[in-house]
Chain A
Amino acid sequence: MKLLVIEDEVSLQELMTATLKKEGYIVENAMDFHGAMDKLGAYSYDCVLLDLNLPGGNGLDILEYIKKNCNKLNVIIISARDSIDDKVRGLELGADDYLAKPFHLAELSARIRSVARRSRNDGELTYKAGNVVLEDVSQRLTVAGKEVALLKKEFDILKYFLMRPGHTVDKAVLAEAVWGDHIDQSDDFQFVYAQMKNLRRKLSEAGADIEIKSIYGFGYKLLIP
């Protein structure tokens, strides 16, 4: 899969490129409005990561150009302007997703995967790992073809890991992602342990071949055989 990263911040661009290359993507870069337009005109890509604040022009103009001229090209907007207006305008113009800075890189690759999957499956979001299949919209989990009932939080946790296979996840970050932004003052992660314990038990009872492994006591990692 070939990606174009349009981002003027050098260090962030370098970081995104390194991470995405590690994930097996072919990554190209553009630093400003004109560079991006040149590349879009000359080559074809599967997905564009687009920063809205660019030297030389507005990212939304690039988006408009893409939607007019490049069929089936997915666009994920990356913006430091975390305002609803921008988000709405971007999505209305046809962007596939919107990611506000600052974001976790794992989040970025998960979004790319999900956007790519969505364009293939016509919107049905499923996450597969080993013999585990999670359907996001219908909130269903099947392990080796059999359906497993999960509570809401257990489902959210599993989805979070399926979006980030192989990445180390800090339990504080997990708690914030699953329980919401307001979880920030707690220094006690009992509630995470309790849910995690139940989720692991349900997975192993159903005979799942994936494993959520504890890492050094501060976090977890999803291991796929």
Chain B
Amino acid sequence: MIMRLIYKIILSLSIPLVITLGLWGWLSYRTMSERIHKDTDMILKDYSDQIVSRKLSGQEIPDRFNGAYNTYYIKEVSEDYAAENSLPFYGEAEAYIRSQEDFASSRIRRQVFADNDGKYYEITVSLPVFEQETLVEHVLWWTGILFLVLLVTLLIIGIIVIDYNLRPFNALMKWMDAYVPGQPYETVPADTDVVEFRKLAETIRKAVERFENEYEERKIFIGNASHELQTPLAVCSNRLEMLLDRPDINEEIAGEMVKLHRSLQHLIRLNKTLLLLSRIENDQFPPADEVDMSSILRDSLELNGEVYAHKSIQSSVEVQETFVCRINEQMASVLVGNLVKNAFVHSMPGAKISIKVSADGFVVENEGDAPLDRNRVFHRFYLPGGRREGSTGLGLALAYSVCERSGLSLTYDFKENCHIFSVILKK
């Protein structure tokens, strides 16, 4: 079971506490009640001895029911019986109390004794135990209450003490929740004199620093690499173009050269896109323009409809309200262009594409057979149906990055055989 550390500690603490406190309570209760019974037995013995000594000395024996609750009873017994029961016997029995005119559960004591004539008697003294029972009950109650109060107090103290001492840890947790890679962050809280917490904070600080450096380096690396690739790529491409213009090449060579040229163009495009992606992620396109997305969507739909005319795709735009968004204009067309093109490229011939625009966003839907992997659909180079000739695999990643940097959220859903890409203004 997943729980907070403090509850885990309290839970683990409460189990041994319940056992030890319970054991202690039970023992003290047992000792107390034993003590009470022993006292009763002492009284019975004194009483019995007193009556026996009076009887043997021929003094007057008090009335059997002398007004008090304790009673006695003497009967003559045989010698054999006396021999068998030479030791006093203690036990529980119902005894009649005249003053109450009722039987009451009592403690009894039997003892055999012989008088001067050699006759054997057995004296039974009894003392009702309700007083003792009440006392024992009281003891039980108070032990129970003490047990609960102690347990609860200890646990509350435990919670307070643990919570107090975990403050630096909680501060660290809060800091980690707030941390977003690549975003500015506050210093790691290390205001503590606990060695372990200091070490933890220090470890986190170092890890984050290293991570941030790597993150930054990776960003810069992709940017720099694409940047450095541009010139050699341009040289290659231009040299090929120059060769293509030569009159002394034949069709076969020209065909090969064109294939080479197209691969090179693909490489250039890939490189350009990576560069664009890294620029977007470096916030080089701040949202600066008020852009009417519905008109960009219409233009893009028209353009793609022309390019993919051979697929005879049925497309429609439904504008409930114009969606005006604060975004860099270039980024707006990157976003829309990629989403719309994506819908066209991945549609089967004759399929439907519909775009719906509302006041706070727009939705691009296209028919499809199977849902895409929600977790990876916006990853770079995610190509579910295998690599397509000429595809960079970066289109949706670009769209996602644009949204991230422009206060929009881009989500993917699959419903009723439709891929649904929604762009919504973040609240």
Contacts and interface: CB of A to CB of B under 8 A. Distances in A.
A104 B388 contact: no
A218 B230 contact: no
B345 A182 contact: no
Given A184-B390, A190-B309, A217-B255, 4 more contacts: A11-B232, A102-B231, A102-B268, A185-B389
B245 interface: yes
A175 B308 CA distance: 12
Contacts of A191: 306-307, 309
Nearest to A187: B389
A106 B234 contact: no
Contact of B261 (A12, A170, A175, A187): A170
A11 B392 CA distance: 28
Size range of the chain B interface in the assembly: 35 or more
A170 B265 CA distance: 11
24 contacts: A12-B238, A15-B235, A83-B284, A102-B231, A105-B242, A166-B245, A168-B241, A168-B254, A170-B265, A172-B262, A179-B303, A182-B300, A182-B338, A182-B341, A184-B266, A184-B391, A185-B341, A186-B345, A188-B308, A190-B309, A191-B309, A194-B309, A216-B255, A218-B258
Size range of the chain A interface in the assembly: 35 or more
A82 interface: yes
A224 interface: no
Contacts of B275: 82
A190 B310 contact: yes
Interface in B235-259: 235, 237-239, 241-242, 244-245, 251, 254-255, 258
A124 B100 CA distance: 132
B337 interface: yes
B242 A219 contact: no
B235 A182 contact: no
A202 to B, nearest CB: 18
A64 interface: no
B345 A185 contact: yes
Interface in A101-126: 101-106
Interface string A147-181: 00000000000000000001110101101100111
A185 B234 contact: no
B38 interface: no
Given A82-B275, A180-B303, A168 B233 contact: no
A80 interface: yes
Contact of A12 (B231, B244, B265, B390): B231
Interface of B: 227, 230-235, 237-239, 241-242, 244-245, 251, 254-255, 258, 261-262, 265-266, 268-269, 275, 279, 284, 300, 303-304, 306-310, 330, 337-338, 341, 345, 388-392
A180 B262 CA distance: 16
A183 B234 CA distance: 19
A61 interface: no
B242 A15 contact: yes
Contacts of B230: 80, 101-102
Interface string A182-214: 111111101100100000000000000000000
A168 B244 contact: yes
Contacts of B231: 9, 12, 80, 101-102
Most chain B CB atoms below 10 A, which of A166, A190, A218: A218
A186 B266 CA distance: 12
Q: List 3 A-B pairs, minimum CB-CB distance, nearest first.
A: A102-B234, A105-B238, A218-B258
Contact of B258 (A19, A80, A101, A219): A219
